[in-house]
Amino acid sequence: MSYAYSQKDNLIIKYLPLVKKVIARIEVKNNINDQDDLLSIGVLGLMDAIDRYDKSKNVPFEAYASMRIKGTVLDELRKTGVVSRDKIDKLNQYYSTKETLENKLNRTPSESEIAKELGIGNKQLSKIHETVHYLSSYSLESTLLTYDGCNYSLIDIVNDEKSKTPEEIVIKQEQRQVLSKAIDVLNEREKIILNLYYVEELSLREIAYILDISIPRVSQIHGKILIKLKDRIKSIMEDQNV
């Protein structure tokens, strides 16, 4: 995709709101970059998208550019170590303890049972839920579950099926069915948060305002939702012997 400088400059100005929208959804704590820094990084991603975009792929430019912008910003955030090693270690301990209790109890343990086994309180447990939320900004698929080689993403529900092979379309349909079943177990507020975050693409701040709760509380609930979906997807796949 080749443009004269003035044309490219005009495209950057045109899609600057898209850059701001993508950045607004990447909400992380302890970030050494301010919003102006992230905007500059996002513009670099937009410029890269303009240079690399191929119309023949039948992918809308906005969708392609959003992916490149987010990827560029997240690469920079990874370099600055937004999610510390300590937080990752605590999350891994959470999952390990959860699995141990599942084998011991022959059922899914409650959050309070996991916290008791870990020797932590509600505040520390909430921090773990926040970590899950922040990691989902990097890769929702890996946060939810990669189970027996199958990735499941909330985005699969509304994904465009253009340019996919018949086999890929069938797989995506099966994934949507599994994910839809998993979402059915959520309560009404959890479903609302998923819809506002992934479909309406609102920021945590906007969701907090709508639900009249704090921003940290939204991120904690979102983290708990992802853990619940992860468990439910695993259960469904095991029932289907996949």
pLDDT at site 83:
64
Same domain, 185 and 95: yes
Same domain, 21 and 98: no
Q: What is the 3-state secondary structure (H, E, C) of the chain?
A: CCCCHHHHHHHHHHCHHHHHHHHHCCCCCCCCCCHHHHHHHHHHHHHHHHHHCCHHHCCCHHHHHHHHHHHHHHHHHHHCCCCCHHHHHHHHHHHHHHHHHHHHHCCCCCHHHHHHHHCCCHHHHHHHHHHHHHHHHHCHHHHHCEECCEECCHHHHCCCCCCCCHHHHHHHHHHHHHHHHHHHCCCHHHHHHHHHHHHCCCCHHHHHHHHCCCHHHHHHHHHHHHHHHHHHHHHHHHHCCC
In terms of C-beta distances under 8 Å and separation of at least 24 residues, what long-range contacts does 203-211 make, across chains too? 203/24, 203/25, 203/27, 204/27, 205/27
Same domain, 20 and 62: yes
Same domain, 41 and 102: no
Looking at the 3D structure of the chain, how many domains does it have? Answer: 2
Q: Which amino acid is at 71?
A: G
pLDDT at site 17:
92
pLDDT at 157 over 60: no
The last residue of a domain, from among 31, 64, 79:
79
- Percent of the chain with pLDDT strictly greater than 70: 73
Same domain, 142 and 58: no
Same domain, 73 and 93: no
Residue count of the chain, please give it: 242
Q: What is the spatial distance between Cα 141 and Cα 150, in angstroms, rounded to a whole number?
A: 9
Over residues 60-85, mean pLDDT? 77
Same domain, 59 and 94: no
Same domain, 131 and 193: yes
The last residue of a domain, from among 26, 59, 79:
79
Same domain, 74 and 127: no
pTM over 0.75: no
Confidence of residue 198 (pLDDT cuts 50, 70, 90): confident
Q: Higher pLDDT residue, 234 or 222?
A: 222
Same domain, 71 and 111: no
Q: What is the spatial distance between Cα 125 and Cα 129, in angstroms, rounded to a whole number?
A: 6
The last residue of a domain, from among 79, 97, 132:
79
Same domain, 233 and 123: yes
Same domain, 210 and 126: yes
CATH number of the domain that residue 30 is part of: 1.10.1740.10
pLDDT at site 240:
66
CATH number of the domain that residue 178 is part of: 1.20.140
* Structural domain boundaries, residue 218: 85-239
